[in-house]
Amino acid sequence: MNSYVFGFQEIDRSKFSMVGGKGANLGELSRIEGIQVPDGFCVTTEAYKKITGTSVELNALLDQLITLKPENRKDISETSAKIRKVIEEIAIPEDIDNEITQHLVQLGDKNAYAVRSSATAEDLPTASFAGQQDTYLNIAGKKDILKHISKCWASLYTDRAVIYRLQNGFDHRKVYLSVVIQKMIFPDVAGILFTADPVTANRKTLSIDASFGLGEALVSGIVTADNYTVQEDQITGRKISAKKLAVRASEDGGTKQQEIRPDQQNAQSLTDKEILALNHLGRKIEAHFGAPQDIEWCLADDTFYIVQSRPITTLYPIPEANDQEDHVYASVGHQQMMTDTMKPLGLSFFLLTTTASMRTAGGRLFIDITQMLASPTGRKRLMNTLGQSEPLIKDALTTIIERDFIKSLPEDEKEAGPGQTTPLPDFQKKPTEADPDIVNTLIDSGQASIQELKRNIQSKSGSGLFDFIREDLHQLKNTLFKQQSLDVIIAAMNASSWINENINKWLGEKNVADTLSQSVPNNITSEMGLALLDVADVIRPFPEVIDYLQQVKDEPFLEELVKFNGGEETRDAIQSFLTKYGMRCSGEIDITRTRWTEKPNTLVPMILNNIKSFEPNAASKKSQQGLQEALKKEEEILDRLKQLPDGEENARETKRMIDVIRNYSGYREYPKYALVNRYFIYKQALLKEAEHLLQANVIHEKEDVFYLTFDEFRDVVHTRKLDYEIISKRKEEYKLYDKLTPPRLITSDGEIITGKYKREDLPADAIAGLAVSSGIIEGRARVILNMEDADLEDGDILVTSFTDPSWTPLFVSIKGLVTEVGGIMTHGAVIAREYGLPAVVAVENATRLIKDKQRIRVNGTDGYIEIL
């Protein structure tokens, strides 16, 4: 026999699918010793399924609703209203009515109750429908309670709930509703308690919002609550607000607003003793659920009642340490220009590649900088390296150092510990002489090593392939962290800094190194952008091919091309581009990302854009133009210097520095190209192993292996066994992490340390950022989050969250660049300088503050954006 109603005492987490998150959590709370939960029961999702499953009218309306798109607001509103009316008019069957009556009699049918909705989605345990369905307070009498149960069921079809499901791809027929009936408490004070600070995310800070009367005043925003913070049983903050209104129970059911007496409005709503008692309850509940909680509470007759607890889903996870010490972690993604979520295989490959002490959290990588913060020299070094990458990181580091969160020990007392691995390169070295042969030798040796890997990996399979890759990763580390390679990169950076500093001092001209860096040789990434212009040149004379490419969607198209006049030449040009650059893609440091060779269609919009926006031979003209501008600037500067006192000596030193920039700065992009090349060779070999696992029915699809770490993948290949639950769980986690924004700096307490721009020199309403490529440009902003969606016209300014090398082909079409992430030497900055594009990076929330197609002015010399 179906049970349609459960008392709170009968409910725990295992009943989630029947009572939803709210109901399951109330059942769990009722089981914690010392926690008072007003008694009640849940009408299960089985009851909802029974009353809605047999209605022909309802099913016909649902068929209509499924065909609508989120933007059809008027139709959604009309259909939803009809659905709600149908549900409310369905009579509650006798067996369900009897069970509800029985529970009401046990609890006291004369009492007033809160009637709340608790939604759940089939197969989607992590889906959140918080705040979308209705809640009714102070409902008394069986007839009224049954009426409001029906209203709750119907509230599954409010416009807001329907639109949310359409936007997130949830099937309306697979979302169910349980109704929570809970004894009303008429509190003196009520509010919300967060067991982690909702602003800073610090897990050690508990935050309490409190106001007089029912908690609805606070939830609905009609009152500004008092706020109290507690850390380690000490009250650390009290913010008392003027509380002018309270929501109280109304005599004839429901609630009413009531003015608070003037003499009480500014009173502290909780005493210090009550604040600490609530802190204790909060920590107890958090310990039970094993995660930070958002808790609704009320205080009546000196007793705290808990009416709800749910996990705080917006907190960024903390990187795991192997000890109980304090740690500070810096985001790797902000340095690598890739803040997207990475899959487990991608994370583990990067961990096998790096020499630094890294941790993972929220599907991203973090470097443990604790040891560097533990000494004066380490701190200075950190400010000269990580601190120089961008002002927001620098400001956050300054905050953590001023706070002395990690105690600084004298040099001789400092022990080696976690995070004590290869130090960051020292950017303070003096640049070497410019020797063009060094760069050529480094690149030749890198390319030879890649060819050797391609030959040797052919014969490897099974566990042997994994051992071979692990061994080859040492070779990759040698390429990436070779001292000579680092010296070249640092020499170019130091020469640029020297030029900018001294030319500004001597001639009063800012950021001259930007112009001097245009069209430098050996920059594999900027050459790639120009190479795609050459591909456009091959295709431009063939209108049939262009027409065909405009129709191409997701289907393989390269072999189809040969049917058209000029198709063979087109195919060969694209193939030749892919041979050199096909291992690249957006987010390329994650080995699991789809490469251009795997999906050449990604390139089609960029090729068509090049055909439309450029004249033939544009690559060569662009390159020559940049070179001429750089040479002209060099000549002009040297001439001007020679006119000054000590001018000859200064001009000689400046010329030496310019040679370092011209010969060395292009190499900055090569090590990453070498890394991505090797990753793709590994990936192709590993996907053959995935194919074998698929044939043997060990996995459901080849891409499942991306949710395993390198060692787990090896074990599965070896044993041919896999607990598929791991894959499902990680796919869910990946979706969850994808919604989170990784912090630049996070502590082991979970506190996110943010940086701010401290600038007095900005025009009113300007948006601050870091100037990385000089010049001022006005144009139409194109806010593009996914490279494949780029539809650019000549003169557009690209606004995006980050750009890695795969975005370079778009740089030939734009006139300026704005990104949310980046530093002086990150990819976008380097290429912008080389192409002569004004650029401002590290602009917080740029993709939200700037609207698509707005006219903006980008000041790449002083580092700000104005919306015109």
- The residues carrying an active-site annotation are 827
Strands 745-747, 797-800: pairing is unpaired
Q: Are 370 and 722 in contact (CB under 8 A)?
A: no
C-alpha–C-alpha distance, residues 193 and 296, integer Å: 6
Q: How far is CA 77 from CA 11, 66, 80, 158, 163, in A?
A: 36, 13, 5, 8, 10
Q: CA 81 to CA 159: how far, in whole Å?
A: 8
Sign, CA torsion 175/177/178/180: positive
Tokens 């050449």 -> residue: 600
CA separation for the pair 697, 688 (Å, rounded)? 14
Q: Determine the distance from the C-alpha atom of residue 343 to the mean position of all C-alpha atoms in its chain, rounded to a whole number.
A: 13
- The CA distances from residue 695 to 40, 407, 689, 700, 794, in Å, are 52, 56, 10, 9, 49
Q: What is the spatial distance between Cα 719 and Cα 722, in angstroms, rounded to a whole number?
A: 8
Lookup result for tokens 């050690």: 204
* Cα gap 839→825, rounded to integer Å: 12
> What tokens appear for 120 in the block?
């759940």
Q: How many CA atoms lie within 13 A of 804 on its CB side?
A: 20
Compute φ and ψ for 538, nearest 5 degrees: -65, -40
CB neighbour class for 618 (10 Å; exposed up to 12, middle 13-18, buried from 19): middle
Cα–Cα distance for residue pair 41/754, rounded to 1 Å: 44
For residues 238-276, b (16+ Cβ closer than 10 Å) or e, as one string?
eeebebebbbbbeeeeebebeebeeeebeeebbeeebbe
| The two three-digit tokens of residue 534, written as one number | 């050459």
**Amino acid (one-letter) located at 380:** K
The DSSP secondary structure of 514-539, one letter per residue, reads HHHTTT-TT-HHHHHHHHHHHHHHHH
Q: Give the containing element (helix H, strand E) for 330.
A: strand 328-331
* Burial (CB count <10 Å: 0-12, 13-18, 19+), residue 365: buried
- 375, containing H or E segment: none
Q: Tell me the angle at which helices 647-664 and 618-642 cross, rounded to the nearest 10 degrees.
A: 160
Give the containing element (helix H, strand E) for 747.
strand 745-747
Query: Sheet of 364-368: strands edge to edge?
Result: 358-361, 364-368, 328-331, 745-747
Q: Nearest-CA neighbor of 209 among 161, 173, 159, 243? A: 243
